[in-house]
Structure 1
C-alpha cells in the first residue's frame, strides 16, 4: 500500500470532488444533445485527470523531475558533486592548478630573466627553438599552457576555486629540471634539482587538498626517465603522466592510475603530404637513424644493424641528435615507406611519434611497449608489429615488408594523416590535439581515484583481496 501524505490526499480529494461536480453540471446539458459525445468527452476528461494525478504524486515523492526537461537552468550547478553518479559527465574536467613560483616551471626556460610575476596566457613564453632533445620531454610545459589558455570545446577547464576541482595539476617541470640542472646523478648541479623536489614536497605537504586524499587526485608530469628521481616514491599515489610506462617500477606506477603520454616529436610535421602516388614517391623501404648502442631492451639495435646490413632499400644509420641530423631524419622519414622503431633504453622512444607526423608507417619492434591513447586509437590500423625474435631472424622482416600490398600501405598512410593531429603539442591548444587527449585520459582516471578514496574510508583491512591471491 502506498504511503501517501495526508496533505496530498486532501488536495487530491478536493480536485476529484470539484471535477465530479463540474462533470455532473456539464453532463445535464450534454445528455440531452448527444449521449455519444458525452461518453467520449467524459472518457478523455477522466484520462487527463488520472495522468495529472499520477504526475503530481510522482513529483511529490521525487521520482520525476520535470525541471530537468523544461527548465534545465534550474538544475544543480556543475560544481555540485552528487552523492551518486550514474553516468559519465559530458562536461570538461575541472582542474585547479597550483600557483608555484617560476623557478619550478617557466623560469627554467630563461634562467637569466629576473621576472617573478605569475605567468598568464598573455605572458606565456614560447618553447625555445634550439632546445634539441629537451623538447621530447616537454609534455609538462604544454599541459601547463593549456590550463592558462581560455578556450571552449576542450576536455579541460581551469577553475580558480579548489573546492570545485575534480583534479589538481602540479606545474613542476621535473623533466626540464633534470635536463637543466645536471645530466647525471653525480653532477654537482643536480643539487638544484634535488632542492626543488624537496621544496615542492614541503609545499604540497602544507596543502589541505594534497593531504585530503594523499595526493591521489593530483596530476604530475614525469616524462623523463630521471624526472623527480630523488623523491619519486613520495608521489606514488598521484596520477603520473609518463611517456614510457615500461621503464617505471610497478611499486611506483601502474596503468590503473597513470597516463601514458606520447613523446613530443622533434621533427617537423609533414603538412603538405598530398602526392597522387605516395607509395612510389617513397623510394626507401625501411628507415632508421639514431643511436645504436643502448642498454636493456635497446641492445636489440646493435643486433638489428647486423641483420639489416646489405639491403639497398634499407637505410639503417648510427646517428646522434643534432639540429642537422634531426633535419636529415625528417627528410629520410618522408622518403620512406616504413620507419623502424626498435626499443631504446626503454620500450618506447620519440622516434615512433616522429614517424607518425611524417606519415611513415611505423614498424614497432618491442615485446613490452605501452602506447598512448590506446583505448581510443587502434595502432594496428597504421602500424606493423614484430617481436624481437621475428625482427632478428635474418631476412624475415625485410621479406614481409617487401611483399606488403601497396593498397594496404596506402590505406595505412591515409590513416596516419587522419590521426597525426592527436600527437601534436601546440599553443594555443586545439581540440583533439595531444594535450586535449591527455586531459581526456586523466578524466578517465578520476572514477578510479574516487573508488580508491571511497574504499579507503570504510575498509578496516586495506587491500584485503590481494592477500587472498
Structure 2
C-alpha cells in the first residue's frame, strides 16, 4: 500500500495519508438511485435564520464537547444529539440545513464526515472541525472560499468566531458553496466536472 496512490475518505495525515501522493475523497452517498439530485438546494441567505446547526450521533471524542458547550445554550445555535429515526426526522434534519447559515461538521471516529457534502448539497456553509483532515479535491478547490475551518480547541468560541465573519464574507462563501456544488454531485450517467470526473482528475494528477 505504501507504493500505491491511496484514494481515501478518511484523509488523515496522522494515519498515513500522504499529501502530494494520495487523494482525498468526499464522504457521501447516493440518496436516491432514480433521482440523486433530490432535495438539492436551500433557502436564500436572507431567509436563513439559524446561525449554526448540528445534529448527529456521538461518535468520537469531539462531538460530546460540541454539545457540552452549545446544546440548549443559545437559540441561534441549533446544536442537537441524534435525531429520532424516521422519515419525518430526516426531513426535519434537511430543513434545518436548508435554513442555516453555517452547518457544523465535527469529526466523528474518523476525520471526515458526510455532513461536509450534505452542507454543500443544501447550500449551507460548512464549518469543518477536524484537526489533521485534508479536504477533498484540495489541489483544485480553495476551501477557504466556501467553508470555515475551525481548530478543535476553538469549539468554545464557535459562536463568537461565526459572528465575527462579516456579512459580505458570508455571502461570498455561500455563493462559493453554490459554485462548487456541481463537483460533489453524483449522476446516474457522469456529467462533466461532477464527483466522478473530480475523482478521476485527482488520481490522474498524482500519476
Shorter-chain TM-score above 0.5: yes
CA 1:259–1:272: 2 relative to 1, 3 Å: closer
CA–CA distance in 1 between the matches of 2:24 and 2:86? 27
Q: Does the 8 Å CA contact 2:52/2:103 hold for their aligned counterparts?
A: yes
Q: Which has the higher helix share?
A: 1
Structure 2 counterpart of 1:246: 12
Choose from 425, 429, 434 the match for 2:186. Answer: 425
Structure 2 counterpart of 1:315: 78
Q: Does the 8 Å CA contact 2:13/2:132 hold for their aligned counterparts?
A: no
- Relative contact order, higher structure (CA 8 A, sep 6+): 2
Structure 1 counterpart of 2:65: 303
* Residue 383 of structure 1 pairs with residue 144 of structure 2: no
Q: Which secondary structure state, in structure 1, belongs to the residue aligned with residue 137 of structure 2? A: coil
CA 1:266–1:304: 2 relative to 1, 3 Å: farther
Q: Deviations over 1:423-442 (max 9, x none)?
A: 01222001100110110111
Choose from 442, 445, 449 the match for 2:206. Answer: 445
> What is the correspondence of 1:241-390 to structure 2 with a 5 Å cutoff?
241-246=7-12, 249-250=15-16, 254-265=18-29, 271=40, 273=42, 278-292=44-58, 294-295=59-60, 299-309=61-71, 310-319=73-82, 322=85, 324=87, 325-390=89-154
Q: TM-score, normalised by structure 1?
A: 0.40
CA 1:441–1:370: 2 relative to 1, 3 Å: same
Q: CA deviation at 1:311?
A: 0.3
> What is the correspondence of 1:226-245 to structure 2 with a 5 Å cutoff?
235-245=1-11
Q: Does the 8 Å CA contact 1:290/1:321 hold for their aligned counterparts?
A: no
Larger radius of gyration: 1
Structure 2 counterpart of 1:465: none
What are the ranges of 5 or more consecutive residues in structure 2 without an aligned counterpart? 32-36
What are the ranges of 5 or more consecutive residues in structure 1 without an aligned counterpart? 1-234, 447-469
Q: TM-score, normalised by structure 2?
A: 0.86
CA–CA distance in 2 between the matches of 1:436 and 1:289? 31
CA–CA distance in 1 between the matches of 2:9 and 2:166? 32
CA–CA distance in 1 between the matches of 2:86 and 2:206? 38
CA 1:322–1:444: 2 relative to 1, 3 Å: farther
> What is the correspondence of 1:92-107 to structure 2 with a 5 Å cutoff?
none
RMSD: 2.3
CA 1:272–1:400: 2 relative to 1, 3 Å: closer
CA 1:236–1:322: 2 relative to 1, 3 Å: farther
Q: Which secondary structure state, in structure 1, belongs to the residue aligned with residue 80 of structure 2? A: strand
CA–CA distance in 2 between the matches of 1:371 and 1:272? 22
CA 1:398–1:429: 2 relative to 1, 3 Å: same
CA–CA distance in 2 between the matches of 1:262 and 1:438? 9
